[in-house]
Amino acid sequence: MSLCEYLPRLDSILVKILLGDDVEPTITEIAFVKRCLVVVTRTTKHTVKLPVENKDHLKDAKITQILAKGSILLLRISLNRPQDPASFTSLSLSKTQKWSVSDLVRTPKDANNVNTFLFLCAYCSATVVDSRDNKYADMPLEYWHELMDFWHCHKPHQKHHENHLKNYGAIVPKDNHVYIGASYLFLKRNSSSCFSCKRNLGELTNDTAKLYKWNLKLQYGDTTETFPPYAYSYYAILDRINSGALRKLQVQSDNGSVRIWILSVGLSVSYDSYVLDKALKILYTDKTDSETEVLDVPLEGVYVLASRK
């Protein structure tokens, strides 16, 4: 078993290898092969997949530290490559989310230069939204309304006159407009269910519906994409970081809660053969804290997946 974490501020990769029974290893060979680090001891060969985009990132890499602690071998790899100083903060500052407008404009266009894609029911593949029938816009941050108290149309030291009071209200989509949130499509619709199989796809408020992305599929050309349910919690956590610089949250649902601390944002990590990009490093506990801000997740399936990923 191996675990690697790219440390962008130090431009290095920290590698941990579980040696098993080889508790006093003698390294006979060590080398970079394509995107992997190969470590050979007297008894075992370990091939570790590194969290880099391609083998060129390892061109000038050097191993600067090797340390054995019991059955764990620790190595530090210095990449020695030019870095964008903002690269490790770009994820928390980015508004790009799966199936946002910036994603949809990459889909194929027809003869009229209109993007062609379909949102389908995830259960029966019936068409729910056709790109050619609507206009699309990204929703603001999920917690935009909480910031309204800090916006002023008068000088803060002046008395707040009643004429300045505004009804914050709710965003209501226009006809043939689809507003895209972190985890839902928001549009005018008289039902939140699929018109074909009748499965519920979201929630209905008056004549507007929020259709959750994990109940949909995105189809364009020969490609069909799905939205993993745990992405709801992922993007909701990013929104809290963006809107309030929060790093501690109580994530809860009807079936329980976990308290989390977000230690790092936008990490590249590899675990055995799996490589994760734009990951969050999270410390968590089942203990609750009444003083910690609460993040509600609406579905049991979303919470279960999110808390165990």
Task: Encode pLDDT of 247-305 as tens digits.
Answer: 888 888 877 788 889 888 878 898 887 888 888 888 888 888 888 888 888 664 566 54
pLDDT the model gives residue 21: 67
Query: Do residues 104 and 195 share a domain?
Result: yes
Dihedral of CA atoms 258, 259, 260, 261 in degrees, nearest 10, equals -170
* Partners of 17 in beta bridges: 2, 73
| Token pair in block for residue 64 | 């600067």
Query: Do residues 195 and 258 share a domain?
Result: no
* Partners of 224 in beta bridges: 219
Residue 19 lies in a domain: yes
Q: pLDDT at residue 148 above 70?
A: no
Instruction: Tell which residue, 83, 65, 60, has the closest CA to residue 27.
Output: 65
For the chain, what is the mean pLDDT?
A: 80
Query: Do residues 67 and 184 share a domain?
Result: no
- Could you count the other beta carbons within 10 Å of the beta carbon of residue 292? 16
pLDDT the model gives residue 76: 93
pLDDT band at 29 (very low <50, low <70, confident <90, very high): confident
Query: Do residues 64 and 115 share a domain?
Result: no
CA 203-206-211 angle, 5° bins? 25
Give me the residue label for tokens 């505004």: 166
Residue 248 lies in a domain: yes
Residue 69 lies in a domain: yes
pLDDT the model gives residue 170: 64
Residue 158 lies in a domain: no
Query: Do residues 95 and 218 share a domain?
Result: yes
Q: pLDDT at residue 106 above 70?
A: yes
pLDDT the model gives residue 92: 46
Q: What residues make up the domain containing 13?
A: 2-78
Query: Do residues 209 and 285 share a domain?
Result: no
Q: What is the mean pLDDT of residues 209-216?
A: 93
Query: Do residues 222 and 236 share a domain?
Result: no
Q: Look at 49 and 233; give whichever has higher pLDDT.
A: 49
Domain stop point among 226, 243, 263:
226
Query: Do residues 212 and 124 share a domain?
Result: yes
Beta strand 256-271 with 12-18 is: unpaired
Q: What is the mean pLDDT of residues 94-119?
A: 86
Q: pLDDT at residue 93 above 50?
A: no
Domain stop point among 22, 52, 78:
78
pLDDT the model gives residue 117: 96
Q: pLDDT at residue 134 above 90?
A: yes
Query: Do residues 107 and 132 share a domain?
Result: yes
Q: Look at 106 and 229; give whichever has higher pLDDT.
A: 106
Query: Do residues 283 and 297 share a domain?
Result: yes
pLDDT the model gives residue 118: 96
Query: Do residues 176 and 253 share a domain?
Result: no
Domain stop point among 192, 226, 260:
226
Q: What is the mean pLDDT of residues 161-179?
A: 66
Q: pLDDT at residue 164 above 50?
A: no
Number of domains in the chain: 3
Residue pair 121/197 in contact (Cβ under 8 Å)? The answer is: yes
- Cα(108)–Cα(149) distance, rounded to whole angstroms? 42
